[in-house]
Each structure stands twice: as structure tokens, then as C-alpha cells.
Amino acid sequence: MKHPTAGFIAKSGQGGFTFIEVMLAVAIMALTTLGIFRFVQSTVRAVSGSVDDTEEQLAVDRLVALVQEEFYDLPVRGQTNISGESLKLNGADFDSIEWRSRGGPGLMTTAATGEYRVKLRIQPAEKNSNKYEIGLWRRPALIETSTGLVDGGTDNDATWVPLMQHVAAMRLRYWDARLGQLLDSWRDPTVKPAFVIMSITLEGEAVPYEAVLRIPVSAVQQ
């Protein structure tokens, strides 16, 4: 007895695919899959790079906002001077700026009642590391005691608050309204700059990101 399908296969000659056809189909499928994979991979990479760029920019914006908030909250009277040092190492800027702060959430000292000397600076993320981070170095300046606020605190009491990683340089310039020009450092304790230009260069970036930080008029005109 004849097999039911045998006649059909023999008759039409195309009841199944030949080996070559199957191979060709598999090859086309593989090429298509590879193409889609490459497309998805490059898209994911591009999106990831773009998101990283945006995140870096937002990180700088957050840092700028935090420092700006500190400047707006400078004690109006008393020892409220700002000082800034300029330092260059291997062609990169490692500037720092110091001011007096009442503490608060911007300084991560919500429980503090006294005052701090605060320095925004760039330093190695770890000892002997070539990775740098920007942060706040805070040293108690006025400490609350049972008899009230007294001067106190040493460098040993100072703590470091890291704010931003993967930075290569930080440059600070100060606008002197009396001279009408930008200065690289600020040493005059009697007056404050009208604004500070902060330039942050991130790791792997060629150009810095700049922000102009306003010193409030009430703090400048004493």
C-alpha cells in the first residue's frame, strides 16, 4: 500500500524544503537578527550616553544650586567674609572658596545650632587616588554651650561632605565691582565679590561647565 503523503511529495516535488532552502532561510534569519541586535545595541548605547551627559549636567546644576543657596544664606553681619584661593596642579585648576555658614540642610547639618567655616574644594576621592571629587569641608566655628554660643572647633573636628564625583578641575573667579574685573583669588575680608564664576570640568570633558553664582546685595554692601 502506498503511503498517503508519498504521492503528494513525489508529485509536486516541493512537499518540504530542501537543505539549501533551509540553510538560506536560517542565514537570512541570522543576518536579520544580527542587524536588529546591532541596531538595538547602538540605540541603547546612544541613549545611555545621552542620559549620562544629562545626569552629569544635572549633578553640576544641583551642586551650583546648593552653593548658591549657601551664598543667599550668608550671615549678614559679623565675620561673614569670603575668601578664595587659586591653585594650579599639572595645568588643572584646584581652586577653593571658604565662607561662614549657619549650617542647615545645604550643609547636611540640620541638627547643628552653631556656625561653621565651610570650604568648597576639590580633592582626591581616596588617598593617593587620581580620581577627584568636589565637596564641602566643614569646620565648627561657633559651638553652642550651656552659656551660649562660643568660638571653638579645630581642624580635627572638621568633616568632609562629598558632593560630586568624577571631576577633573574646578576654577573659581571673583568679580570685584570696585575694580570692574574678575580676580583669580579673593583675600579682602572687608568686602565680598558681587558674584563668583564657578567652572567645573568633568572627567573626560574638554570644556568646563560654567555657572555664575550671585552674592546677595545685602551681603555685599556692608
Partner 1 sequence: MRLLCHSSKKSAGFLLLESMLAVTIFGLGMIALSRCAENLLRAERVRREEGLAQRVLGNYFTQIETEALPLSDKMTEPLKGAWTGMTLNITREQLKLQNENDQEIFGLYKVTLDVSWVSGRETIHRDLSFIFYPKQR
Residues of the shown chain interacting with partner 1 in the complex, contacts defined by CB under 8 A:
4-5, 8, 12, 14-15, 36, 39, 43, 46-47, 50-51, 53-54, 57-58, 61, 175, 177, 180, 194-195, 207-214
Cβ distance to partner 1 smaller for residue 166 or 214: 214
Q: Name the minimum Å distance from CB 77 to partner 1.
A: 22
Cβ distance to partner 1 smaller for residue 47 or 150: 47
Cβ distance to partner 1 smaller for residue 112 or 215: 215
Cβ distance to partner 1 smaller for residue 57 or 79: 57
User: Comparing C-alpha atoms, which of 154, 172, 109 is closest to residue 136?
Assistant: 109
Alpha helices in the chain (DSSP H): 6-12, 19-72, 217-220
Q: Name the minimum Å distance from CB 116 to partner 1.
A: 25
Percent helix, strand and coil across the chain, each rounded to 5?
30, 35, 30
The C-alpha atoms of residue 179 and residue 193 are separated, in whole angstroms, by 11
Which residue type does 101 have? Answer: S
Q: 3-state DSSP call for residue 184?
A: coil
Q: Name the minimum Å distance from CB 39 to partner 1.
A: 7
- Give ∠ CA 132-192-66 in degrees, rounded to 5: 40
Cβ distance to partner 1 smaller for residue 112 or 169: 169
The C-alpha atoms of residue 133 and residue 123 are separated, in whole angstroms, by 6
Q: Name the minimum Å distance from CB 194 to partner 1.
A: 4
Which residues on adjacent β-strands are paired with residue 167? 132, 202
Cβ distance to partner 1 smaller for residue 50 or 113: 50
Q: Name the minimum Å distance from CB 95 to partner 1.
A: 17
Report yes or no: 186 and 84 within 8 Å, Cβ to Cβ. Answer: yes
Q: Name the minimum Å distance from CB 106 to partner 1.
A: 18
For residue 126, how many other CB atoms are within 10 A of its CB?
A: 9
